[in-house]
Chain A
């Protein structure tokens, strides 16, 4: 029941926020903040529930929805979902904070879209019925489309359309895959079911399994995104308003990784194991190629977007290595990248709000003018490049360590990504914040240092990253039970595949 509350607070909070605009334009943001805070509090209480010993599911809810096709309203929560829900709640608050003064037009509708996106994400992280999962997967798209299309920058129509088309079309491939899976369940067991736990028992012959798995893989790696389906992300990010970028980079990308861990591999273990080398190669290409492309950008938001793709490559690498260490690494990278990328996008958005440009060639020497902002930027850049002691390092290190057991060559290549990351991160710092101050091409009258409110958000995110870096065990413990469960599902299969390939 508590999961339904989580989702409905956001749904109804969104409607309320929209309606309240008629009374006062300050109400929507307050209502939105309240709704997300309530959710965050509920999520924190979830941590207190003792873990059951017999299964990995902490709580679950199962009700009939469309009995004709065995579709149920099945929500459940395990350690992995809890971690990602906490990330969602936390970044939800941060996103509202970043929009607090930036969004001045059509405020009510903005917070409506924001909360509905979050509601969709919460649904994605908790749904265990594949139809329901797909339902939420699509539901989070539309409000996100509106956020980019209405409050975006100069080229918003193109960016929003591209975002929507990429995710929707690949989503339809996933729908076909889900239906094939459900149909095979019907053939084998005599009744339709879309339930994850039922579908785990379905056996599909090798070639069809590969095709069906690819439907999921394409949908999830579009969202992740991974090379070669990544091209929507830089456009979406550079055009989206700051809060949109925060949600997109911090949470939406993680739904792709979550889908791979929860669905794509456990449902199709054999096909996934056979496909793993390809997936890991794509991951390495993402890491290296997008790091290189990031270096060539002049638009600061596009640069951060490409670095995001590069970092998500480590996640993909870790997931397809499919052992506990690598998966822990992937999950840690998801969490840490969620915070660091969101913070960097907030900084870029803050800069754009102040000086109305994203072109780094016009910028330089900002340290003298805005020291606090520069420090924050330095901190998060260093976090992103993987400095030991911060969360990203733990994640990427574990991902590489785990991947090393699976594929040595690719792991060695991927490790170069860490070096590239230092290059482009420090290059940005040097270009924008160091050197002599120049303001030739823009009006710097609005260039103020970070306000207290902004410092508060950034401070909280810094603390989060330091915590992850210094004491990652608290996060690893939460997801351990889930991962053991997932690994046990695929255990027998993995061994047999290894046997045949040897």
Chain B
């Protein structure tokens, strides 16, 4: 198959990010300059997200069998590039004083972002796997990034090896599942398994179900859905904060987009046993995530468990996609993913602002009295936590509203009951952190003195809080955008 220039144009965001990686790499080879490398990275990612946003209204094209560049994938390309850009800005002050080679972190981050873009634009097993591995390989490096400090990223090697081994096993599951699907359908593109199973020469329905469950198990591992969640808290805690942030936002969201597309196109949910398994996964994730978060005192671990619970909430909307008539449940997934990315970025962003590669403030007792010391920072954090808890005025509330609506539409009463219980438990640990911030100031905690390099981090936080409140108070424009793009999946 030949590619024309017309085919290259929709791939522009991907090409820009790739070019950024190459330029950054050559740049490091010529002259090591932390400032310049980060500037190139940030500019490249910004450019890619602007281009993707500009292309969004009029691009809808299948480029080779591997990539689908439509409104949906472009929307998430914007989200991925923008998040990666925000993380680059947040990690600038974090690594600023690191006494080692620090430019490569940006390189890894950009390469991971290429993987993420490939994933969100994929409707083919090969591109899914390529994107997934590109993302994961770079993440291993980011998780294990050497910091030489006992007070931050306590166990980077342990975290990295754990992630590497388990992730490889999960990839193995996915590949095996893909092979089974290929045996059934004879194509590596996502196609309906229902039609394939009904053909006379098919291998039978159970074959499809096994294939679907293997792929789903592998993806559930990457999404840290219970019972495949065991690596999450350790890896979150062990890695440097920017790597954790990346893993929690871009890593999860990209995976979820492929997952949604895969489930939607293959019509996996028309097999009742798959629905049962997914429902169990959703219930287990919500309960395990929320209950285990109650026992934690480490902020990263709390956010890790809370992300498990949030993935469980998203699963409810995924399950709802099958029985719903319109696109409401797909809109629910889309909106909630957007909300999840914004609030997780904000939550980790606050921790990044006061932490550095020398010392991370990741115990919740470190946040004691923060509200009286730095009311703006603490207010941002509170906004993020309340959003995670789904309280009005924030995007998290609208997201939860969508999920409830999707659940009601499909009549998933048991799952909704679990969602109510889970959110109730969740409130407790979010409020615990908020209460810490409201307690009297503890003078023994000395935060990093913010230098000039941190200004942009505060800017990122301000943008995130603004978006959080804007989408929470006046979500109508985003709602219509989400409704528009969800028709394309």
Contact = CB atoms under 8 A, between A and B. Distances in A.
Interface of A: 64-69, 106, 131, 134-135, 138-139, 141-142, 145-146, 149-150, 157, 160-161, 164-165, 168-169, 172-173, 175-176, 179-180, 182-183
Interface in B412-430: 416, 420, 423-424, 427-428
A164 B408 contact: no
Nearest to B408: A179
Contact of B404 (A141, A164, A169, A175): A175
Interface stretch (B53-61, B199-207, B237-245, B473-481): B473-481
B476 A176 contact: no
A165 B389 CA distance: 11
Chain A interface, DSSP helix/strand/loop, else mixed: helix
A176 B391 contact: no
B427 A165 contact: yes
B65 interface: no
A388 to B, nearest CB: 44
Contacts of B475: 66
B198 to A, nearest CB: 31
Contacts of A180: 408
Contacts of B392: 134-135, 138-139
A435 B170 CA distance: 78
Q: Which of B408, B416, B475 has the most CB of A within 10 A?
A: B408
Interface in B371-413: 372, 386, 391-393, 397, 401, 404-405, 408-409
Interface residues of B, number: 26
A165 to B, nearest CB: 6
A139 B394 CA distance: 10
B326 to A, nearest CB: 10
Contacts of B393: 135, 139
13 contacts: A134-B392, A135-B393, A139-B392, A142-B386, A145-B431, A149-B438, A161-B431, A165-B424, A168-B424, A169-B420, A169-B424, A176-B420, A179-B408
Given A161-B435, A164-B431, A165-B427, 18 more contacts: A66-B476, A68-B476, A68-B480, A69-B479, A134-B392, A138-B391, A138-B397, A139-B393, A142-B386, A157-B435, A168-B427, A169-B423, A169-B424, A169-B427, A176-B404, A176-B408, A179-B401, A183-B405
A160 B428 CA distance: 11
Nearest to B475: A66
Nearest to A71: B476
Contact of A172 (B423, B438, B476): B423
Closest 10 CB pairs of A and B: A169-B424, A68-B479, A138-B392, A179-B408, A135-B392, A172-B420, A66-B476, A183-B408, A150-B438, A179-B404
Contacts of B409: 183
B483 interface: yes
Contacts of A131: 401
A187 to B, nearest CB: 10
A54 B476 CA distance: 33
Contacts of A138: 391-392, 397
Contacts of A134: 392
Contact of A65 (B397, B404, B476): B476
A164 B416 CA distance: 20
Contacts of A169: 420, 423-424, 427
Nearest to A138: B392
A64 B476 contact: yes
A81 B452 CA distance: 53
Contacts of A172: 420, 423-424
Interface in B193-222: none
A160 B435 contact: yes
A146 B438 contact: yes
Contacts of B424: 165, 168-169, 172
Contacts of B401: 131, 175, 179
Nearest to B419: A172
Contacts of B428: 161, 165
Contacts of B474: 65
A169 B438 CA distance: 23
B401 to A, nearest CB: 7
A65 B392 CA distance: 14
Contacts of A69: 405, 479
Contacts of A175: 401, 404
A149 B440 CA distance: 12
B79 to A, nearest CB: 20
A398 to B, nearest CB: 36
Contacts of A65: 474, 476
